[in-house]
Amino acid sequence: MTDDVLDLARRAVETGPLCDPCLGRLVADRSFGLTNRERGRSLRVSLALADDVPVDDLASDDCWVCEGESTEERVEEWAERAAYAVDDYAFDTFQVGTRVPPLFEENDRLLREDVGLDPDAGEQLKAELNREVGKRFGRATDTEVDFGRPDVQVTLGLGSDELDADVNSAFVYGRYRKLERDIPQTKWPCNDCNGTGLNRGEICEGCDGSGYRYDESVEQLTAPPIRSAMNGEGATFHGAGREDVDALMLEGGRPFVVEIDEPRRRTVDVDALEAEINDFADGKVEVTDLHLATYEMVERVKELDASKTYRMAVEFEEAVDADAFEGALDELRGTTVEQRTPQRVDHRRADLTRTREVYDIEGDLDDERHATVELHGEGGLYVKELVSSDEGRTEPSLAGLLGVDAEVTALDVLNVQGEDEPFLTPEFVRDADPEDGAGDVDSETEVEDSSNGENETND
Ligand SMILES: [Zn+2]
Ligand SMILES: [Zn+2]
Q: What is the pLDDT of residue 220?
A: 95
Cα 278 to ligand 2 centroid, rounded to whole Å: 29
Residues 6+ apart with CB under 8 A from 347: none
CATH hierarchy code of domain 170-303 = 3.30.70.2510
Instruction: Please tell me if the domain spanning 72-167 has the same topology as the one spanning 170-303.
Output: no
The closest alpha carbon to 289, from 444, 103, 90, 113, belongs to 444
**Closest listed ligand to the CA of 207:** 2
Q: What is the pLDDT of residue 1?
A: 52
**Summary mean pLDDT of the chain:** 90
**Closest listed ligand to the CA of 210:** 2
Active site (annotated) includes residue 282 = no
Kindly report, residue by residue over 215-232, the tens digit of the pLDDT.
899 999 999 999 999 999
Lowest mean pLDDT among 61-65, 146-150, 395-399: 61-65
User: Considering 108, 151, 244, 412, which one is annotated as catalytic?
Assistant: 244
Residues 6+ apart with CB under 8 A from 4: none
pTM equals 0.86
| pLDDT range class, residue 432, cuts 50, 70, 90 | low
C-alpha 367: how far from chain center: 48
Q: What is the pLDDT of residue 456?
A: 40
Kindly report, residue by residue over 256-302, the tens digit of the pLDDT.
999 999 999 999 999 999 999 999 999 999 999 999 999 999 999 99
CATH hierarchy code of domain 72-167 = 3.30.2130.30
Cα 5 to ligand 1 centroid, rounded to whole Å: 19
DSSP conformation letters of 125-172: HHHHHHHHHHHHHHHHHT-EE-SSS-SEEEEEETTTTEEEEEEPPEEE
Q: What is the pLDDT of residue 86?
A: 97
- Rounded mean pLDDT, 325-343: 96
Cα 97 to ligand 1 centroid, rounded to whole Å: 18
Cα(397)–Cα(81) distance, integer angstroms: 67
Kindly report, residue by residue over 13-52, the tens digit of the pLDDT.
889 999 999 999 999 988 888 999 999 999 989 888 888 8
Kindly report, residue by residue over 109-165, the tens digit of the pLDDT.
999 999 999 998 999 999 999 999 999 999 999 999 999 999 999 999 998 899 999
Q: What is the pLDDT of residue 3?
A: 65
**Closest listed ligand to the CA of 194:** 2
Is CATH 2.40.50.140 the right assignment for the domain spanning 306-418? Answer: no
Extents of the domains making up the chain: 3-51, 72-167, 170-303, 306-418
